[in-house]
Amino acid sequence: MDVVYFAWVRERIGVPREEVETKAATVADLVAELVAREERYAAAFADLSALRVALDQELSDFDAPLAGVREVAFFPPMTGG
């Protein structure tokens, strides 16, 4: 599964994109796996209320299932306009 990061999430994790081998059932499960892996993930995911997630380029939420998803994106609230 491709996982992509933007803005300060990208900066904390240190890469814009990576391939992750996972059997996580939901976004929250995937986050838990990443957080357990290394401190930089724990730093990025410390406050989920400050984060947004998109599945295959559609906004979603942390309870959403990952079945069939090819790209997960994590980022802070958007600041367009």
Partner 1 sequence: MQVRVQEAGFDLGAESDAFAAGVAGSGAIVTFTGVVRDADAGGLVAMEIEHYPAMTEKALEAIAIEAKARWSLEDALVIHRYGRLAPGERIMMVATAARHRKDAFEAAEFLMDYLKSRAPFWKKEILTDGGADWVAAKPEDEDALTRW
Q: Write out the residues near partner 1 by the rule CB under 8 A.
A: 4, 6-8, 10, 54, 57-59, 71, 73, 75-81
CB of 24 to partner 1, least distance (A): 21
Nearer to partner 1, 17 or 37 (CB): 17
CB of 75 to partner 1, least distance (A): 7
Task: Answer for the pair 1, 70: CB distance below 8 angstroms, yes or no.
Answer: yes
The one-letter code for the residue type at 66 is: L
Nearer to partner 1, 2 or 37 (CB): 2
CB of 30 to partner 1, least distance (A): 18
In angstroms, the CA 29 to CA 22 distance is 9
